[in-house]
Chain A
Amino acid sequence: MGEQEQQSIRCLVAKVGLDGHDRGAHVIARAFRDAGFEVIYSGLHKAPEEIVQATVQEDADVLGISILSGAHNTLVPKIMDGLEEYDAKEDTLVLAGGVIPDEDKEALKDQGVSAVFGPGTSIEETIEFVRENAPER
């Protein structure tokens, strides 16, 4: 049929763990929305299982994890393992943001995180990265 395909990039913006700093996540969610993405915001203090559940059920193209508590080395692997369990690890673009020391970045990337955006990253840069790297399905 001559029906128009209506694709939209779906992003889950997730706050995981115990830190309550969600200003950054809000800014990103808003910016993604204004860029024409569909944003699902997880809310604060989510457990890794919840993030996995939401990513799978929402069929998110992009998972942006915001962590400012320093617990990324514990929380991110749990999320990645969960995604793998539901065959969602391969084709989900996983991004990490927040306060993540340089020496931890490589380890996260080995886990399957595509990019780590620290403080000072411009929003345009993040949006551009998502546009270019969102998985083709």
Chain B
Amino acid sequence: MNADDQALLEDLLEGKHRALARLISKIENRAPGYRDLVSELYSHTGSADVIGVTGSPGAGKSTLVDKLAEAYRERGETVGVIAIDPSSPFTGGAVLGDRIRMASTIGDMDVFVRSMSARGQLGGLSTATADAVKAMDAFGKDRIIIETVGAGQNEIDIVRTADTVAVLVPPGSGDAIQTLKAGILEIADVFVVNKADRPGSERTVQELKEMIDLGEGMGVDAGHHGPGGVEGGVFDDGDADADEDEKTWSPPVIETVATERKGLETLMGAFSEHTTHLEESGQLAEHTRTRYAEEIRTLLRGDVHSLLEAELEAAGGVDELAEAVRRGETDPYTIAGDALGPVETCLSELDHERLGSPSE
């Protein structure tokens, strides 16, 4: 690591906001040296609780995140927010607007809000988000909230960086709940029906509960009780039924009106309840392991990809090869095989034990 990066790291650990901001930029830009910096960060992390918030556009994510940040600050905790917006696949440009809603914590630098956008990277945004979380964790943030539009696989990968994931469902979205079934349902640890003062909210809560029940009835390790611990938006943590089966977590459905801070305490209660559940059931370790396994894989995919990109460039660029395929001289499989061949040979000659864990 060069002297500048060393200084940056020291500034960050000392709590300088500018350094944290700059390091996140380096992570986003894949700037030279960012890998060493992130490696260094790991030994300073592990104290932050990470919450993911996702949901359809207009569900009220930014407002809820803003109010959550405010409430956590009132408890004396420091907060980091990573707000993720899509970017244009055509120009790479993006308008990151989540900050507009972050008005409750004006001038409070202990709420660190950072907007990020996808930059057309291969699985890159989830890696960049995970790295940015590490940076905020090392900086000393107690709570880190990741906010993203829950539209596709990319976003699901991103919120998986969090230990606890809240999925926001706007009231009256009967049909929207249908679309939630695939993918989103599985990642939700807590459902939030925000804007609960709007008509149709009760029905939405009911539909969600039915859906959770149905999912549990069909799951492999199905729970045998109703939506655990929560009835009508009131969190009841002394539920004997919930104690009975510690291993399974049934996502509670919580009603909030974020603009008025209604239901916020209940929601925060559910978050800490979930954290406790993860710790006590031993799922936290498993969760973390799965996440790191994915991070390792994503990193390797990206690295191998750029190695081979460089190889293609050296061979005169992918266009020429594509032209050869068009003329019928070769095919994509042959080219990929030729490019990968030496890598495979090289790896087969290596000692497979070399990656073993350092403790062994």
Question: Which residues of A come within 8 Å of B, CB atoms?
Answer: 1-8, 10, 29-30, 32-43, 47, 49-50, 53-54, 56-59, 86-88, 137
B106 to chain A: closest residue by CB: A50
Q: B21–A35 contact, CB under 8 A?
A: no
Contact A38 to B96, CB < 8 A, known contacts A50-B106, A57-B113:
yes
A93 CB, nearest partner CB in chain B, Å: 15
B93 at the interface (CB under 8 A from A): yes
Asked if B297 is at the interface of the complex by the 8 Å CB criterion, the answer is no
Most chain B beta-carbon neighbours within 10 Å: one of A1, A33, A38, A39: A38
Q: Are B18 and A87 touching (Cβ within 8 A)?
A: yes
B residues sitting closer than 8 Å to A (CB atoms) are 16-18, 21-22, 24-25, 28-32, 35, 87-88, 91-97, 99-101, 103, 106-109, 112-115, 117, 119, 121, 302-303, 306-307, 309-310
Cβ-closest 6 pairs across A and B: A43-B100, A33-B93, A59-B21, A49-B107, A2-B310, A59-B25
**Taking each of A32, A47, A54, A58, which has the highest tally of chain B beta carbons within 10 Å of its own beta carbon?**
A58
Instruction: From A5, A32, A38, A42, give the contact of B31 (CB < 8 A).
Output: A5
A58 touches B109 (CB 8 A): no
Residue in A7, A50, A56 whose CB lies within 8 Å of B29: A7
Give the Cβ gap from A7 to chain B, nearest Cβ, in Å: 5
Shortest Cβ distance from residue B343 to the other chain A in the assembled complex, whole angstroms: 13
Least Cβ–Cβ distance between B81 and chain A, in angstroms: 9
Q: Tell me, rounded to whole Å, the shortest Cβ–Cβ distance linking B105 to chain A.
A: 9
Most buried by A among B95, B115, B303: B95
- Scoring A29, A37, A40, A137 by chain B CB atoms within 10 A of each residue's CB, the highest score goes to A40
Chain A residue nearest to B93 (CB atoms) is: A33
Q: Which residues of A contact B112 (CB under 8 A)?
A: 57
B113: nearest residue on chain A (CB-CB)? Answer: A57
Chain A, residue nearest B115 (CB) = A40
Cross-chain contact B87 with A6 (CB below 8 angstroms): no
CB distance from B233 to the nearest CB of A (A): 30
Minimal Cβ-Cβ distance residue in B for A10: B25
B87, B88, B93, B107: the one within 8 Å of A53 (CB): B107
Q: Would B88 and A47 count as touching, CB distance under 8 A?
A: no
Contact at A49–B95, with CB atoms within 8 Å? Answer: no
A33 and B29 within 8 A (CB): no
Which residues of chain B come closer than 8 Å to A4, judged between CB atoms?
30, 306, 309
Nearest chain A CB to B325's CB is how many angstroms away? 24
- CB pair A56–B21 under 8 Å, yes or no, is yes
Q: Pick from A5, A38, A56: contact of B18, CB below 8 A.
A: A56
Chain A nearest CB: distance from B253 CB in Å? 31
Residues of B within 8 A of A137 (CB): 22, 25
Q: How far is the CB of A27 from chain B (nearest CB, A)?
A: 12
Query: Whole-angstrom distance from the CB of B94 to the nearest CB of chain A?
Result: 5
Contact A39 to B93, CB < 8 A, known contacts A5-B30, A5-B31:
yes
Q: Given the complex of chains A and B, what is the CA–CA distance between A86 and B112 in angstroms?
A: 14
Contact call B99/A2, Cβ cutoff below 8 A = no
* A30 and B92 contact, CB distance less than 8 A: no
Contact at A58–B95, with CB atoms within 8 Å?
no
Check A36 against B21 for contact (C-beta < 8 Å).
no
Provide the bound-state CA to CA distance between A59 and B20, in Å: 9
Q: Which of A10, A32, A50, A59 interacts with B107 by CB under 8 Å?
A: A50
Q: How far is the CB of B252 from chain A (nearest CB, A)?
A: 32
* Nearest-neighbor residue (CB-CB) of A54 within chain B: B99
Find out whether the CB atom of A2 lies under 8 angstroms from the CB atom of B109. no
Query: Is there contact, CB below 8 Å, between A1 and B121?
Result: no
A1 lies within 8 A of B303 (CB): yes
